Chain A
Amino acid sequence: MSRMVLLNVRTFAGAVDLTGSTNKSEINASFETLDQTTYGSNGWKEFAAGLATTEVSVAGFWDAGTGLATDVDPATFAGLGAVGPWSVAPAGAADGALAYLTNALQASYKPMGGATGDTAGFEAMGRGNTRLARGLVLHPPGVARTVTGTGTSFQLGVVPTGKRLYVNLHVLSVSGTTPSMTVRIESDDNAGFTTPITVATFAAATAASGQHLSVAGPTTDSWWRVGYTITGTTPSFLFVVTAGIA
């Protein structure tokens, strides 16, 4: 990917697609710097990495929506103080697109900012509860799923010892009668998934919601995909899955 103009940064927090309301999305991962300078440091300071933190912050225009629980304002207000998945895809959220993901505490929400004549603005910020992972979109948001199936396979890589596979599930909309969807993460050693292994399964989703899970390494499989089991009468789900190894 070359340099780019930011036009389509897709940000998902819990069950909400913040994209159309945001014009600023920032991810900040940093380590504490612990001074370890001694007389033997040859005149230069020495540091070691301490604790790491992640912060995801968004800003844009306040959107009251039409009163749905998944509209930006009601959902972001309800999420204040709660922990949930945050995913940011810098250049769209098509299958396989680059994505950063973490599980974060929504630490702040500033709705309705601005002066007379301004377009009402908002800001929100999440503090990561886990590592920031750099990965990709395993399932895109714009494809409604109505029957059981699997997603596209991607070679995300093996999970080494000491690292984990982090996965976010954002269920953006659900319709139908008694709809239920269970999303699982599968791995295999080949793109065709001839011998898939289920490595983790999310709790069944019956409404718009967000979930985060992680799987400890090591793994020998390097190919990954999502599988989804859907039940109900005329069910339909829109959801995003992002995954990364960190």
Chain B
Amino acid sequence: MVRQALSDAISTRVVSTPTLTCTAHVPDAPVVPCLYVQPDTIDFDGTFGRGMDTIYFKLYLLVSRADDVASQNLLDEYIAGSGTASIKAALVAARGAPGVGALDGAVDDVHLISVAAYRWYSIGESTYLGAEFRVRVIGSGT
């Protein structure tokens, strides 16, 4: 499953303190800092013969808002373009070499396009600081 492969690719590559918890599905009770994967749109038939589909995911990363400065500093590490905690760096590393599938062969390629919605998020009774990552995945439609 692609969303699990995305979660695993980030989980195995991102190094942060505290440790980032990655889940393929939206959690009822997040254990922060956490990242979860949510499908956004699917474009079928990018090529003939079900050769390629494109799936856009939104990955949400939430951190505790216990301390306003510390939480923002931690989130900044995750949204940075490089560094041990960088989600971008993790997904670039997960692409694999040309001709080799990304996300350990689950898809053809993966691209973190942008980060947006750096704001407070409410889940249940709790509020977190977070950001939204927009990811594009291309792969066979079969």
A215 to chain B, nearest CB (A): 30
Known: A61-B52, A117-B111, A117-B113. Contact between A20 and B47, CB under 8 A?
Answer: yes
Q: Flag whether B40 is at the interface (Cβ < 8 A).
A: no
- Quick check: A64 and B52 within 8 Å, CB to CB? no
Residues in A neighbouring B104, C-beta threshold 8 A? none
Q: Which residue of A lies closest to B54 (CB)?
A: A119
Tell me the count of chain A residues lying within 8 A, CB to CB, of chain B. Answer: 20
How far, in whole Å, are A119 and B50 apart by their CA atoms in the complex?
16
Residues 90-109 of B at the A interface (beta carbon under 8 Å): 98-100, 109
Number of A-B contacts (CB under 8 A): 53
> Within the assembled complex, what's the spacing in Å between the Cα atoms of A19 and B52?
10
* Cβ B51 vs Cβ A19 within 8 A: yes
Among A22, A64, A66, A117, the residue within 8 A (CB) of B48 is: A22
- Chain A minimum-CB-distance residue to B101: A66
Residues of chain B lying within 8 A (CB to CB) of residue A11: 48
Given the complex of chains A and B, what is the CA–CA distance between A117 and B138 in angstroms? Answer: 12
Which residues of A70-118 have CB atoms within 8 Å of chain B's CB atoms?
117
Residues of A contacting B113 with CB < 8 Å? 117
Write the nearest CB–CB distance from B12 to chain A, whole angstroms.
Answer: 24
Residues of A within 8 A of B138 (CB): 61, 119
Contacts of B99 in A (CB 8 A): 64-67
- Which residues of B lie under 8 Å from residue A67 when comparing CB positions? 99
Residues of B close to A19: CB separation below 8 A: 47-49, 51
Query: Does A170 make an interface contact (CB < 8 A)?
Result: no
Identity of the chain B residue whose Cβ is nearest the Cβ of A93 in the assembled complex: B49
A-B contact pairs, 24 of them (CB 8 A): A7-B45, A7-B50, A8-B49, A8-B50, A9-B48, A9-B49, A10-B48, A11-B48, A20-B49, A20-B52, A21-B47, A22-B47, A22-B48, A23-B45, A23-B47, A23-B52, A60-B47, A61-B47, A64-B98, A64-B99, A66-B99, A117-B111, A117-B113, A119-B109
